Amino acid sequence: MANIKLKEISTRAPKDWDKEETKEKTAGILAKLDELQNLLYAESKHSVLVILQGMDASGKDGLVRKVFTSMNPQGVNVHSFKVPTAEELSHDFLWRIHAAAPPKGMIQLFNRSHYEDVLVTRVHKMIDDKTAKKRMKAINDFEQLLVEHNNTHILKFYLHISPEEQEQRLQERIHNPSKQWKYNEKDFEEAKLWDEYMTAYEDCFEHCNDVPWTIVPADQNWYKEHIIAHALLKTLEKLNMQFPGLKKE
């Protein structure tokens, strides 16, 4: 994924995609995902890790609600990584991440993830470029560990929103009573660092791509939800899972 330039990638669905038709297709996919997630849980030979990254207001929370709540909650976990605690800071940066990796049979969502440790920390000059490169190598090794030693299938999505759409959504958090609980004045300060974040993400796509990224146009929720649901469906279908038979004593 070398030389990815986010400015050159559209944040909207292709013009020939119909919204209502796509939403209907997504509903069909979600029904299939419910069945396949149950099979994943029953067979318990594989795990799935879905990584969601994106700028503030790119729609990570809404995506989780629309796509993943159609499945049995016993087999789906969501973990959001906040500012590290004192205990977490006393360990290596991946210590708390590994503890949240999915066991076999589970779908785990990271709503923000270990990539914050090479994005936010880099944009705010908490780490230098040399440290960032070391961390990226460690992330590649960590993800391969999950793949090779726990049959974990990793899907990494960057929710690609435009700065104009982000501004509109952040303003909604001020004026819409149903969204005011999401308001955080720091989001507007982070938005001013847009170019720095884009540079950090582009470098991340280039150097942390042993498990490839999918860049998802995210200005329109219906398209974003379809792309991610479809990618998860294809991943689960390829596993050729079978329900286990009767247990033998």
pLDDT in tens, 133-159: 999 999 999 999 999 999 999 999 999
Q: Distance between CA 70 and CA 86 in Å, rounded?
A: 36
User: What pLDDT does residue 245 have?
Assistant: 85
Which token pair is 17? 């995609």
pLDDT in tens, 4-37: 999 999 999 999 999 999 999 999 999 999 999 9
Q: Distance between CA 69 and CA 77 in Å, rounded?
A: 10
Residue 1 has pLDDT above 70, yes or no: no
Nearest of 169, 164, 206 to residue 10 by alpha carbon: 164
User: What pLDDT does residue 187 have?
Assistant: 92
213-217 vs 76-80, strand pairing mode: unpaired
pLDDT in tens, 94-117: 999 999 999 999 999 999 999 999
Could you tell me if 228 and 60 are in contact, meaning their C-beta atoms sit under 8 angstroms apart? no
Q: Distance between CA 246 and CA 232 in Å, rounded?
A: 28
User: What pLDDT does residue 2 have?
Assistant: 57
pLDDT in tens, 54-94: 999 999 999 999 999 999 999 999 999 988 999 999 999 99
Nearest of 221, 237, 241 to residue 26 by alpha carbon: 221
Residue 192 has pLDDT above 60, yes or no: yes
Nearest of 170, 226, 208 to residue 55 by alpha carbon: 170
User: What pLDDT does residue 247 have?
Assistant: 77
Q: What is the mean pLDDT of the chain?
A: 96
Q: At 249, is the pLDDT very low, low, confident or very high (cuts 50, 70, 90)?
A: low
pLDDT in tens, 34-54: 999 999 999 999 999 999 999
Q: Distance between CA 149 and CA 239 in Å, rounded?
A: 16
